[in-house]
Amino acid sequence: MPSSYVSSHFHVVFSTKNRKRMILEKSQPKLWAYMAGILKNHGMHALAIGGMDDHVHALFSLPATMSIAKGVQVLKANSSGWMNEVRSFEWQEGYFACSVSRSQIPRVMKYIANQRKHHKTIGHAEEIARLLRMHGFDPQK
């Protein structure tokens, strides 16, 4: 085969430092758009970005030459820099990431779009615990 073909999609979730409610609802659309721009400027493609005042969900594709760790680092570093222009802001160190098959992209996009509704019935800690269990991780660790 003369060319490489890569389909690499990830659902990533990360929180504000100490899960402080730092992302005001009125600022969220601007932050989500800014994050999509960061991804685009670094060769990635945002399919969906959303979240709440203390965390972000992003579904994006990576180029074949980039690791998920590098993609998340670029997204978190650049977005926290932008948020720091207004006030002191930090992301928590870790993150959750899982690969997403092409057939599941619409489902994950819908999940991200419905974060506000979803969090009326479940808190962020339980959401992360469920995601971890779904992907074979022990949420107690």
CA distance 69 to 63: 13
Q: Is residue 139 part of a domain?
A: no
Q: Is 140 a domain residue? A: no
117 located within any domain: yes
> What 8-state DSSP symbol labels residue 40?
H
| pTM (predicted TM-score) | 0.92
Model pLDDT, residue 1: 67
Residue 84 has pLDDT above 90, yes or no: no
Q: For the chain, how big is the Rg over CA atoms in Å?
A: 15
What's the total number of domains in the chain?
1
Closest CA to 58 of 12, 93, 23: 12
Residue 111 maps to a domain = yes
pLDDT at res. 42: 97
Cβ(91)–Cβ(76) below 8 Å: yes
- Please report which confidence band the pLDDT of residue 114 belongs to, taking 50, 70 and 90 as the band edges: very high
CB-based contact 134:100 (threshold 8 Å):
no
Residue 4 in domain: no
What CATH code is carried by the domain that includes residue 69?
3.30.70.1290
Q: Quick check: is 109 in a domain?
A: yes
* Residue range of the domain that includes 90: 9-134
* Across 31-38, average pLDDT: 97
In a domain, 3, yes or no: no
Q: How far is CA 70 from CA 30, 63, 118, 122, in A?
A: 23, 11, 29, 30
Q: Return d(Cα 128, Cα 45) in angstroms, integer.
A: 24
The answer to whether residue 121 is domain-embedded is yes
